[in-house]
Amino acid sequence: MSESETKTTLNASNGPAMPLFGFPKIALAGVFSELAEQGVARAQEGCEKIKAASENMAEALRETYSSNARSANDYGLKVIEIANANTVSAIDFFAHLLGSKSVTDALTLSAAQARKTFDTTSAQNKELWELAQKLAAETGEPIRKHAAKVLHQAN
């Protein structure tokens, strides 16, 4: 077949079914139709996988938000509790300091208060650190769990 015949066969739309590179037009239409159907099926399968992954990640984000809100609330309440305890301690110290009868009593009270404040602050920082670690772990866990699930399903 010459080049002009091939172009004529490729561009012919109303003429007789002439061979194209040795294949009848009808056979090529069936092949293209089958390839198109396979492509559509693959695209639908891919869309379903993406939809499932999106739903899983949305669920992970909902769990993360919920967990994060609870942990942040716990942390905030602990900060308020600590602030209240520190305020009460400071007021008690000033009340005792005002009732001291000598400079020696005031220095003894100050030293005792400083030691008490140091110990209390150390314990409070430890509590806050543990709450912060819990917050970080609980925030990351749902995302890690759902991402592992999504990756496992993709395989």
Q: Looking at residue 85, what is its pLDDT? A: 95
pLDDT in tens, 68-93: 888 888 899 999 999 999 999 999 99
Question: Would the pLDDT of 4 be above 50?
Answer: no
Backbone angles phi, psi at 24, to 5 degrees: -70, 150
**How many percent of the chain have pLDDT more than 90?**
35
pTM of the model: 0.57
The b/e string for 5-23 (b: 16+ C-beta within 10 A; e otherwise) is: eeeebeeeeeeeeeeeeee
By CB atoms closer than 10 A (0-12, 13-18, 19+), residue 25 is middle
- Delimit the domains of the chain by residue range: 23-154
Instruction: Give the model's pLDDT for residue 127.
Output: 94
